[in-house]
Amino acid sequence: MTGKLIVLIAILAVAVVLCLGLYTLWVGGETARTWSNKLMRIRILAQAVAVVIIMAVLYFSQHG
């Protein structure tokens, strides 16, 4: 159960960063210029971490 909770938190973190990025693009102007690239980098990092967490949970659920 804790593995599913960790996966859910990781996916929610990616979704939050994605929504923030979409919001900054919608606002546009100086906000988009300042934050869009930073949020994209954070999202990519969060996705990488989420994939590692998902793979670890899958591995340990099979071999644990």
Q: Give dist(CA 63, CA 32) in Å, integer.
A: 45
Note the pLDDT of residue 42.
96
* Residue 26 CB burial class (10 angstroms; 0-12, 13-18, ≥19): exposed
The CA-atom distances, in angstroms, between 10 and each of 30, 34, 38 are 29, 25, 19
Cα 27 to the center of its chain, rounded Å: 21
Name residue, tokens 């996966």. Answer: 7
Query: 10-residue block means of pLDDT along the chain (64 residues)?
Result: 92 97 92 90 97 96 84
Q: What is the pTM of this model?
A: 0.86
Note the pLDDT of residue 1.
75
Note the pLDDT of residue 63.
86
Note the pLDDT of residue 31.
85
